[in-house]
Amino acid sequence: MEIIKDPSQNQSVLKTNLSFRSFIRLINEKVKSSYIQSKLISCLVSLTLVLLSNLPSESGIWIRPLSVKQGEVIVISGLFYPFGNSYSFLGDCQITFENKNYKFFREIVNYEVFKGSQGLAGFQYTTRLATTPLTKAGSKQALLLCPLGQQSFDLSVTSGNFPLQNIQLSKSKNSLESTDKETQAINKALATNSLYKLWSSEKAWVHPSNAATSSVYGLRRTYNGKLAENYFHKGLDFAAFSGSPVVAPARGKVILAGYEKEGFAVHGNCLFIDHGQGVISGYLHLSTISVEEGQEVEPGQLIGKVGDTGIATGPHLHFGLYVGGLNVNPTPWLQYGMP
């Protein structure tokens, strides 16, 4: 087994020299029903080449990228990992990174193969490791924990070089604090971990506002001259006029619609959308909300309008993005998309 690094792509592929016969044996061990075994093997014989051409590696793990700036996301994907003469499906494993556990999600990579095999092929397992401005820069390790063993991987986090911003708030705004209802509702939304990925990996996310960005992700802030400890700006601010449209950046499902009049004193009128597999987006300080909880939305669909509800110095949209409950930088998602 060896690790091959491609500097041009800044990614790592673990090669394990797994033969097709070993792959079939692995499937036989995993699937106990003899009827399903025979059906699966006949399906795999005709579809294996198609399947393997759509997996990140026929016999290992892809880590993309190996080095990130604070606030960026590391994507780990594959099908299984070898331990001696046996193999663990990544769906039975988890990754520990920065004292947080991440599960692997099944992700379809070839729908025709997936459909033709009745969900037994044409997929891989993927997890996404989050970093924030509070993640210390330096060398890191991710630990793969499987029923048959464990394996560590070397990663790196570099400084995001975030700026400092001074904010002046009126006495009425500065004295506001989150209500228990607000805190509990938002924490529940950010803990959502639905199984299916709803966004497209092949497209950049749509900007939720066409206005210019007034505050970037990750900056430190002073409020009325006092530095906010352990604080960083958890998203992008768009300097839009009150009443300007806010649209969904990617496909998802509305999991929280909060209103200032119902106790959302800090976030104001706000929305949170589940995009699947622990990825959540948030929209704060809205004047109006155009969708309801439980409603599915598509990229570019109107979901609300810009306002200055909650703690806001004036009309703007605050757009935040969360992975596994941690707040990450939305900019790469809006520029390039995300696997």
pLDDT in tens, 77-101: 999 898 888 889 999 999 999 999 9
The CATH number that applies at residue 71 is: 2.60.40.1930
Q: What pLDDT was estimated at residue 207? A: 98
Question: Do 168 and 306 belong to one domain?
Answer: yes
In this structure, the strands spanning 220-223 and 213-215 are unpaired
Question: Do 192 and 76 belong to one domain?
Answer: no
Question: Do 197 and 286 belong to one domain?
Answer: yes
Q: Using the 3D structure, point to which of 107, 141, 158 is the last residue of a domain.
A: 158
Across the chain, mean pLDDT equals 84
Question: Do 64 and 18 belong to one domain?
Answer: yes
Per-residue pLDDT for 239 more than 90? yes
Question: Do 98 and 150 belong to one domain?
Answer: yes
Contacts within 8 Å (CB) and 24+ apart, 333-337: 333/204, 333/205, 333/249, 334/204, 334/205, 334/206, 334/207, 334/249, 335/204, 336/204, 337/199, 337/200, 337/201, 337/202, 337/203, 337/204, 337/205
Q: What pLDDT was estimated at residue 171? A: 62
In this structure, the strands spanning 164-167 and 220-223 are parallel
- Please give the Cα distance from 130 to 77 (Å, whole number): 15
Q: Into how many domains does the chain fold?
A: 2
Question: Do 88 and 187 belong to one domain?
Answer: no
Work out the pLDDT band at 230, boundaries 50, 70, 90: confident
Average confidence (pLDDT) over 165-189: 79
Question: Do 148 and 168 belong to one domain?
Answer: no
Question: Do 251 and 119 belong to one domain?
Answer: no
Q: Using the 3D structure, point to which of 118, 142, 158 is the last residue of a domain.
A: 158
Q: Using the 3D structure, point to which of 158, 174, 203 is the last residue of a domain.
A: 158
Question: Do 323 and 189 belong to one domain?
Answer: yes
Q: Is the pTM of the predicted complex or chain greater than 0.75?
A: yes
Question: Do 169 and 316 belong to one domain?
Answer: yes
21 compared with 231, residue with greater pLDDT: 231
pLDDT in tens, 268-294: 999 999 999 999 999 999 999 999 999
Which residue range is the domain that position 267 belongs to?
164-335
Question: Do 115 and 228 belong to one domain?
Answer: no
The CATH number that applies at residue 216 is: 2.70.70.10
Question: Do 118 and 187 belong to one domain?
Answer: no
DSSP H or E stretch at residue 165:
strand 164-167
DSSP H or E stretch at residue 39:
helix 34-53
Nearest to 272 by CA among 258, 290, 286: 258
